[in-house]
Amino acid sequence: MRTKIKTKKNIQLTDEELLRFNKHILLNDIDIEGQALLKDKHVILIGLGGLGSPLAYYLASSGIGQITLVDDDIIDMTNLQRQILYSVDDIGKRKVDIAKLKMHKLNPEIIINVISERLISNSEINYFYGTDLIIDATDNFETRSLINKISIDNKVPLIMGAAIKFSGQIIVFRNDLPDQPCYNCLYENVSESDACVDSGVFAALTGVVGSMQASECIKVLLDIGERLESRLLTIDLKNNDFRIIKLNKDKQCKVCNVNK
Ligand SMILES: [Zn+2]
């Protein structure tokens, strides 16, 4: 038995969903209409590591209707310190498969697509077409630059997060809108050697950054509150120093100025 609640866009929530999302629906900024809108959204999450773990759980628990997971990695022991999607029993298995399993245990009603391959620039299939939002939870500049370009080409908003040592960063790029700064405007001259991919990472930091990316994702999708659009939040968890830096468009940027 399913009672249909109609929204302005005629998307419907079932009785079970009204119960499941009760605490969201009680928020005036979300309400039944917002929750039904989330059910109609498709988000692509790239990277299922330390940031991707809380992201995967919160996107699923929040009721995003369709989520596509992209990661080509296999789970190993060194992941378990911060990648809370995975357990000892999962070592040796593909991250996308375990992530899908855990997310569906939490919320069986959502659609989860998995792509267990490395993102490449000349992929024959454009699985970004028609998506509502891209989340970058990867850990290297090369992939980040490629995701930025894909986001611009497909005019889809991008939420980037990064976590190294005790320091985190979160920013929303509105690549779906004209005249907005992109990832390349921020980091054009940073090389891979500056990325410290082999540095230590404080476990709880990835939880903070990933959770904030999930929060920004839902706020962008539902147009809620003040967001980190073209504003870089830097987090120093060691000293509890949180700052926001406004990002301006680089008029010389070779990536976002050629796609007019
Ligand atoms: Zn740019």
- Average pLDDT, whole number, for the chain? 92
Number of folded domains in the chain?
A: 1
Asked whether residue 190 is assigned to any structural domain, the reply reads: yes
pLDDT tens, position by position, 29-55? 999 999 999 999 999 999 999 999 999
State in Å: Cα 151 to ligand 1 middle. 11
Determine the average pLDDT of the residues in 2-27: 82
State in Å: Cα 132 to ligand 1 middle. 20
State in Å: Cα 168 to ligand 1 middle. 21
Asked whether residue 252 is assigned to any structural domain, the reply reads: no
User: Residue 218 and residue 176: Cα distance in Å, rounded?
Assistant: 16
pLDDT tens, position by position, 167-208? 999 999 999 999 999 999 988 756 555 555 678 999 999 999
Read off the CATH number of the domain in which 74 is found: 3.40.50.720
Residue 260 has pLDDT above 70, yes or no: no
> Whole domain around residue 213: which residue ranges?
12-246
Asked whether residue 35 is assigned to any structural domain, the reply reads: yes
State in Å: Cα 14 to ligand 1 middle. 42
pTM for this model (two decimals):
0.93
Asked whether residue 147 is assigned to any structural domain, the reply reads: yes
Asked whether residue 1 is assigned to any structural domain, the reply reads: no
The confidence band for 64, taking pLDDT boundaries of 50, 70 and 90, is very high
Asked whether residue 251 is assigned to any structural domain, the reply reads: no
Asked whether residue 4 is assigned to any structural domain, the reply reads: no
pLDDT tens, position by position, 97-155? 999 999 999 999 999 999 998 887 766 667 788 899 999 999 988 999 999 999 999 99
Asked whether residue 256 is assigned to any structural domain, the reply reads: no
